[in-house]
């Protein structure tokens, strides 16, 4: 075997190793994204928005997602639920954080 053939085999072997590492990393990343798909969080200095699975009215588990918005400046939490038929979000709850934690 001459030097050119040895170099070609080395390059092919390193290509297979890199491809295997890429497949493993992509698989790990896909698993991480699937685990966090239901609770997305957006945080800014003035507000925090998060989606989470909630139960529907009457205590049954409808498995719908709701949007929680925390206004960091005013200290107010508002919860919105989707109304698919009307294609809009409806506010279902709003509370001041001072009412929950008792601080002013």
- Per-domain boundaries in the chain: 1-37, 41-101
Across the chain, mean pLDDT equals: 77
Which range has the worst mean pLDDT, 56-60, 69-73, 80-84, 90-94? 56-60
Q: Percentage of residues in the chain with pLDDT exceeding 90?
A: 1
Query: Mean pLDDT across the stretch 12-39?
Result: 69
Q: Of the candidates 38, 39, 95, 104, which has an alpha carbon nearest to the alpha carbon of residue 71?
A: 95
- Strand order across the 47-54 sheet: 41-43, 47-54, 64-71, 76-83, 88-96
Is the model's pLDDT at 84 over the cut of 50? yes
Strand ranges for 1-104 from DSSP E: 41-43, 47-54, 64-71, 76-83, 88-96
- Full-model pTM: 0.53
Torsion over CA: 82, 88, 89, 90 (sign): negative
């Amino acid at each position: 075997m001459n030097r050119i053939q040895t170099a070609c085999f080395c390059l092919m072997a390193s290509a297979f190793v890199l491809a295997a590492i890429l497949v493993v990393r992509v698989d790990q990343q896909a698993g991480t994204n699937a685990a966090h798909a239901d609770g997305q969080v957006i945080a800014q200095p003035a507000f925090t928005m998060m989606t989470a699975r909630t139960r529907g009215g009457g205590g049954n588990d409808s498995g719908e997602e709701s949007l929680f918005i925390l206004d960091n400046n005013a200290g107010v939490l508002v919860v919105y639920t989707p109304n698919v038929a009307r294609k809009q979000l409806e506010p279902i709850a709003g509370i001041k954080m001072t009412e929950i934690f008792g601080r002013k």
